[in-house]
Amino acid sequence: MYKRQTSSGASNYAASNQKLISRIDGDVAHYAAENKDQPVPIDLVTASGSGLDPDISPAAAMFQAAHVANARRLPLETVRTLVQHHIQGLSLIHI
């Protein structure tokens, strides 16, 4: 269901680059086909400058909950409860 990333690093494509747009459109279509009841969170189909994102949005975590529950043979509600329990609020960084 979910593609495994084997390397890190950004593509360095501009947001207007057709290759980037096509890749994102393909990823959205892939995820949407398997999760018809939810919109695809943007952070699942985009990447940071490094391509390594230590945190994901609560929406991205919930979007993947059914897949995780199935893979780990856990009740879906258990996974959703774990996600809710581990959501961290936003923090402000003082410079």
pLDDT for 4-61, tens place per residue? 555 555 667 888 889 989 999 999 999 888 877 889 999 888 876 666 667 888 999 9
More confident residue, 26 or 92: 26
Residue ranges covered by each domain of the chain: 18-86
| The pLDDT value given to residue 4 | 54
Per-residue pLDDT, 40: 93
The DSSP output letter for 49 is S
Please identify which residue in the block is written with the tokens 């995820």.
31
Q: Length of the chain, please?
A: 95
Is a pLDDT exceeding 60 seen at residue 1?
Answer: no
CA 88 vs. chain centroid, Å, equals 16
Nearest-angstrom CA–CA distance, 84 and 58: 8
